[in-house]
Structure 1
């Protein structure tokens, strides 16, 4: 059973690109379900408008993920038929980046850089959960990146889960930086709009 992460990013593009992040994410989720992959949204950054995201990170698990990777990896083009954000805008082509990656190896994250805080869980689990500080927040001190785990009843289990999520988030941030650099290269060479997309869609934003 393979497990990877999928990063979908607007490359800090305008609101239309942020909308396309959500549209492409929905298409990947739909296809993953049809192919019986286990998939969940593990991280996202909301965009400037409702229904928009600057980026989203999905965790995917299943067999032969490489086939899906080969289909989606790269830049994806959405040709807008209607633009509710800027109807007068003449541009129709909006690109987002899709990238598959594995999380950073645990030994590449210094344990001394991680701080843990315990707090009471507000989720289900009965009175015991509310009385005992079972939830754990993991903080990557150098970057200030934080995650919270409160899924389990045990503080020890939540600490382990928080560490895993923190490593995943740090990996996603690193991938975002790399994709941003790629986006900058596209823009510098004025090839973003007429680039070489791996997929092309037409539809309303």
Structure 2
């Protein structure tokens, strides 16, 4: 089953929106585990004490599609700001959208292999007795940004290593595109629509 990728973002929102996004990522992890899905979270950059500005969530498993359908759109969090006590605003918004990570296998690499640290791990996750239990899974860490991807799709370590490089490159490209001015403008407009009552989920913290 193909991976599903979600871009989760706090858009142009203040620090409280990063707090909301951090909470959303925890919620998604619990939801995925409850539905027997595997989940990987890749932050666009090292989060500050409040949380990440954006992150890519990768889901795989039978229950992944239904989870995506429930959460794609704008999500509202209701809580009093602990960052700015006394601030009147209590509604904070984050966005979730499905994205495709481009296949970069036929493109010249835009990242240096010396900037990637590889780790091997046992290929765990849902799958029961048919799950591959050898140390064939590979975690690739992009040292300059801290972005991490884990690949366990293939049975051989060599193939998972190659796949992790392609996936890491695609994530870096996607995150760079999403941080462009056009993307910021689109996210700002999406938040304006959300404030008119178009949210797909509401959470109280």
TM-score normalised by structure 2 residue count: 0.71
| Matched-pair contact (CA < 8 Å) for 1:9–1:176 | no
| Matched-pair contact (CA < 8 Å) for 1:46–1:55 | no
Distance 1:18 1:145, change over 3 A: closer
Structure 2 stretches lacking a partner, 5+ long? 122-138, 152-156
In the aligned structure 1, how far is the partner of 2:116 from the partner of 2:173? 25
Which digits, 9 at most, give the CA deviation of each residue in 1:17-39, with x for residues without a partner?
01000001110110000000011
Distance 1:163 1:196, change over 3 A: same
2:110 paired residue number = 114
1:10 paired residue number = 10
1:199 paired residue number = 201
CA RMSD of aligned residues (A): 3.8
| Matched-pair contact (CA < 8 Å) for 1:15–1:47 | no
1:99 paired residue number = 97
Distance 1:79 1:162, change over 3 A: same
1:38 paired residue number = 38
Q: Structure 1 or 2: larger strand share? A: 1
SS across alignment from 1:42: strand
SS across alignment from 1:99: strand
| Matched-pair contact (CA < 8 Å) for 1:117–1:136 | no
Distance 1:85 1:158, change over 3 A: same
Question: How many residues end up aligned between the 2 structures?
Answer: 184
Deviation, 1:179, is 5.2
SS across alignment from 2:3: strand
| Matched-pair contact (CA < 8 Å) for 1:4–1:60 | yes
In the aligned structure 2, how far is the partner of 1:182 from the partner of 1:195? 17
Which digits, 9 at most, give the CA deviation of each residue in 1:56-102, with x for residues without a partner?
2121111253311210000000011x321011111111000011222
Deviation, 1:137, is 8.4
In the aligned structure 1, how far is the partner of 2:140 from the partner of 2:73? 36
Deviation, 1:118, is 3.6
SS across alignment from 1:53: coil
Q: Does 1:184 align with 2:188?
A: yes
Structure 1 stretches lacking a partner, 5+ long? 126-134, 139-143
Bigger radius of gyration among the two: 1
Deviation, 1:193, is 2.9
In the aligned structure 2, how far is the partner of 1:28 from the partner of 1:17? 16
